[in-house]
Amino acid sequence: MDYNELHRPQFHFSARQNWINDPNGLVYLDGVWHLYFQHNPVACIWGKPFWGHAISTDLIAWQEQEGHALSPDEHGAMFSGSAVVDHDNSAGFGEGALLAFYTAAGGYAIPKRAFTQCLAYSVDGGANWIKYDGNPVLDCIEGGWDTDCNGATCGSIVGAASGARGLNSSLVAPLNDTIRPSVIGFQEVSMSELAERTLKVQQKVAAQAL
């Protein structure tokens, strides 16, 4: 990428071409910062997102990697997510494996389906990602845009806080201090209602993990 282009940002990452959306899966491993980002590879407007990938050693100069880390599949398009380093091999993919938890936007699958939460892992430092065979790891949770998880527009997002301890080989682990699922709704609600919704979601996730 030529960072001397007339309109190229100098201190903010930009893809070589076309639309980019919010950053996802920000993670640091072995001296390298990894930035994954929602990307439409075919147009300069929003479209069914992939996860692009860029790396940096100083958070200023970025090198966009070829191809895409995650691509849309039968579960949907690649929406928001997080990544963690599994230092203790809690998930069974090896010490130091990278784990990415992301929303699969089922409304963009064919046929349409509910939004779910999925897992991918990398055993080569984030260069290549393998989607977990047991996806989705968490079914749609009612709330957000739509309360119908049997349809195609359930819009809740469940993210995992940093830290991979507590994951077991089934990837359905009891909640603990390092993994805290939470829900971000896309409608205006009071703090008390949001707290009540979040508690219900946490109880449901905990029950599914037993």
- Of 2, 22, 58, 133, the catalytic one is 22
58 catalytic, yes or no? Answer: no
Q: Which of the 8 DSSP states describes residue 106? A: G
From the list 43, 57, 50, the residue with the least C-alpha distance to 25 is: 50
Report CA dihedral (46, 100, 74, 112) to the nearest 10 degrees: -60
* Alpha carbons 51 and 69: distance in angstroms, whole number: 6
Q: Check: CB of residue 116 under 8 Å from CB of residue 138.
A: yes
* Inter-CA distances, 133 with 29, 119, 130, 158, Å: 25, 9, 9, 19
**In this structure, what are the phi and psi dihedrals at residue 117, rounded to the nearest 5 degrees?**
-110, 130
What single letter denotes the amino acid at residue 90? S
3-state secondary structure of 96: coil
Q: Check: CB of residue 21 under 8 Å from CB of residue 39.
A: yes
Query: Which active-site residues does the annotation give?
Result: 22
